[in-house]
Structure 1
Amino acid sequence: MKKTILFLSALLLLSSCKVKNDKTSLSAQNSSEKTITKKSFVIDTATVKKHLYTLASDEMEGRKPGTAGIEKAAKYIEGEFKRIGLKTYENLDSYRQNFKDNEIEMFNVIGVLEGKSKKDEYVVVSAHYDHLGKMKDGEGDRIYNGANDDASGVTGVLALAEYFASQNQNERSIVFVAFTAEEMGLIGSKHFGKDIDASKYVAGINLELIGKEPKTGPKTAWLTGFERSDFGKIIQKNLEGTGYKLFPDPYTKFNLFFRSDNASLARLGVPSHTFSTTPIDIDKDYHKVSDEAETLDVSIIVETIKAVAKGTESIINGKDTPARVVIEE
Structure 2
Amino acid sequence: MKHLKNILGICLVSLSIISCGTKEIVIKAQEVDDIVTYLASDELEGRDTGSEGIEKAASYIENYFKDLGVKPYFDTYRDSFTVKGKNAFNVVGYLEGTDPDLKNEFVIIGAHYDHIGFAEPVGDDKIANGANDNAAGVGTVLTMAKYFAKTKSNKRSILFTLFSAEEKGLLGSKYLAETLKKENLNLYLMLNFEMVGVPLIDKDYVAYASGYERSNLAEKMNEYAGKKIVGFFPKAKEYQLFYRSDNYPFFKEFNVPSQTFCTFDFTNFDHYHKVGDSSDKMNFDHMAAFVNTFIPAVKKAVNADSKEIKLKPSK
Ranges in structure 2 where 5+ consecutive residues have no aligned partner? 1-19
| Counterpart secondary structure, 1:107 | strand
CA deviation vs aligned residue, 1:92-143 (integer Å, no higher than 9, x gap): 2210011112111100000000002211100000000000102487741100
Is 1:77 matched with 2:61?
yes
- Residue 129 (structure 1) aligned to one of 109, 113, 131: 113
* In 2, Cα distance between equivalents of 1:56 and 1:86: 23
Is 1:100 matched with 2:100?
no
* In 2, Cα distance between equivalents of 1:105 and 1:327: 38
In percent, how many aligned pairs have the same letter?
A: 36
CA deviation vs aligned residue, 1:119-168 (integer Å, no higher than 9, x gap): 11000000000001024877411000000000000000100000011111
* In 2, Cα distance between equivalents of 1:250 and 1:283: 18
| Counterpart secondary structure, 1:178 | strand
Q: Which has the larger radius of gyration?
A: 1
1:37-116 to 2 correspondences below 5 Å: 39-89=23-73, 92-116=74-98
* In 2, Cα distance between equivalents of 1:170 and 1:57: 33
User: Which residue in the other structure is 1:29 paired with?
Assistant: none
- Residue 216 (structure 2) aligned to one of 222, 225, 230: 230
| Corresponding residue pairs, total | 289
CA pair 38-312 structure 1, distance change in 2 beyond 3 A: closer
CA contact (8 A) 2:225 2:294 kept: no
| Counterpart secondary structure, 2:162 | strand
Code of the residue aligned with 1:319 in structure 2: it is: D
CA deviation vs aligned residue, 1:262-299 (integer Å, no higher than 9, x gap): 01111120211111112224531111110011111111
CA contact (8 A) 1:202 1:271 kept: yes
How many Å apart are 1:260 and its aligned residue?
Answer: 0.4
Is 1:214 matched with 2:190?
no
* In 2, Cα distance between equivalents of 1:114 and 1:60: 31
Code of the residue aligned with 2:230 in structure 1: it is: L
Code of the residue aligned with 2:40 in structure 1: it is: A
| Counterpart secondary structure, 1:234 | helix
Code of the residue aligned with 2:47 in structure 1: it is: R
Q: CA RMSD in A?
A: 2.1
| TM-score of the superposed pair, with normalisation by structure 2 | 0.86
How many Å apart are 1:245 and its aligned residue?
Answer: 2.4
| TM-score of the superposed pair, with normalisation by structure 1 | 0.82
User: Which residue in the other structure is 1:305 paired with?
Assistant: 291
